[in-house]
Amino acid sequence: MSTLNRPPLVITLFLLTAFLTGATVTRELPEGIAEAFSKGHSRNLARHFNNNIELVVPDHEDVYSKSQAELILRDFFSEHKPVKFEYLHKGGKEISRYGIGSLETEKGDFRIYFLLKVTDGTPLIHLLRIERAEESP
């Protein structure tokens, strides 16, 4: 009788582990976003954009197409060469996630906020804000 009970227990534990692991993984931010910010790769970052994105960077604030946003970020990164990027906070649920980070550049520090929404099973950036970091008193 113990042999009959063992397979359902093993299957239950396997399914529970798979479910919990899957729930954790789906809430993570896509790999490559942090690296794109730290290296200033606008093309790699744009791979994670929705077709239209609300973009706020110094001197630009509007809803842009994916290709327009990539060009604006290319100009931003050429003027503000990244030195270091790190996440300050990440969160969200299945259908939407967000990241808040700190970008250190050769010309000053910036705070980065972005929102991803799952579109056709893929998390895509719908909103990206890059603002000068406020100086501490």
Query: 89-101: per-residue pLDDT in tens?
Result: 999 988 999 999 9
Q: Please state the rounded mean pLDDT for residues 30-50.
A: 96
Q: Please state the rounded mean pLDDT for residues 95-109.
A: 95
- Write the DSSP symbol of residue 41: -
Q: What percent of the chain has pLDDT over 90?
A: 71
Token pair 């790699």 is found at 44
What pLDDT score was predicted for residue 25? 41
| The architecture CATH gives domain 30-132 | Roll (3.10)
Residue 22 has pLDDT above 60, yes or no: no
Query: 47-75: per-residue pLDDT in tens?
Result: 999 999 999 999 999 999 999 999 999 99
3 state DSSP class of 136: coil
